[in-house]
Amino acid sequence: MSEAKQTTSTAALSGIIPPLTMPFDKHGEIVYSAVKEQVDYAVEQGVNGIVVGGSTGEGHTLDRDEFAKVMQESHAAMAGRKPLLVGLIVNSTREAIARMRMLKGLDIAALQITPVHYLFKPDAERTIEHFRAIHEETGIPILIYNVIPWNYLSVEMMLKIMDEVPGVVGMKQSSGDLKSVSDLLGAIKPGNVVLSGIDALLYPAFSLGAHGAITALTAAVPGVCVKLFDLVKAGDHKSALELHKRINVLWNAMPHDSLPACVKYVQSRQGIGFFQPRAPMQPVTDAQKAVIDKALANLPITLKPAATIRSVAAA
């Protein structure tokens, strides 16, 4: 892809950018025909873009061919309406580049890339070279997806990476440490972005000046998150805080270890087909559904009766 360098205004990487959930059937196979429904729904809810292959999208479970095909399906479904971001959750520079070569010709706004996440942690120099090599190969702006607990990048390290690799234009902070969000916002250069990946802290992150969010909640209730972001931008903090409290009830109703499964259930209550997580992740239980339903009843969304859920997980 290096011969066709792509550029993206960082303004296109701001706002609510939900991760696409992966439509798996009961056998763990991707139902590619369901991708367009999810993309259309998110766009209709007023989101600013979509990221495919993130954690909520179970991107870590996709093989190369699945990765390429779902990106192509998502690109076709988006049809240029909003920015499309590609998630890379891989363990080597070589694998990241190999996957991106499969996407040649697609209009990709940015790459959301985790630091390597297996047991062995590269030093600072090799970490910088990892992001540099990917950008030199693709020419696509990079957001660091700072989420790996044993390879969590410090504020100083992320600023260093952006200084030495100008193609790294920002980061998604996914630790519960709101101070790092504040520190980054105070130190980044004009044109860089800081996105929140912290579902329980969307309101305070937006209030500090975070440029947007990519989180599970933005996929589960995208319209509500757009409303929250817009309220903060408009300076209506009273309404924003009240909405934040109601959103947080939903967040607490969705167990982290089966989060993608719970997000898919929330989406199904809003009319999207109901799919399964990929094994060995456990499906959402009836008890979890009941708790989630109670939280959803307090949010400004239109819910379909639970009996009308289109369960396509048994395809």
Q: Report helix, strand and coil shares of the chain as percent, to nearest 5.
A: 50, 10, 40
Torsion of CA 226, 161, 182, 214, to 10 degrees: 20
The residues, ordered by sequence, that sit 6+ positions from 198 with a Cβ below 8 Å of its Cβ are 173, 174, 175, 176, 178, 181, 205, 215
How far apart CA 281 and CA 234 sit, in angstroms, is 40
How far apart CA 117 and CA 127 sit, in angstroms, is 12
- Pull the structure tokens for residue 137: 């190969």
| Location of structure tokens 């479904």 | 77
177 contacts 206 by C-beta, under 8 angstroms: no
Q: Residue 187's closest CA among 215, 212, 156, 214?
A: 156
Q: Verify whether residue 265 is a known catalytic residue.
A: no
> Torsions phi, psi of 173, nearest 5?
-90, 115
Catalytic residue among 41, 104, 118, 172, which? 172
Catalytic residue among 26, 104, 118, 145, which? 145
Q: Verify whether residue 203 is a known catalytic residue.
A: no
- Pull the structure tokens for residue 93: 């520079």
Q: Residue 192's closest CA among 7, 10, 3?
A: 10
276 contacts 261 by C-beta, under 8 angstroms: yes
How far apart CA 154 and CA 148 sit, in angstroms, is 12
Which residues does the annotation mark as catalytic?
145, 172
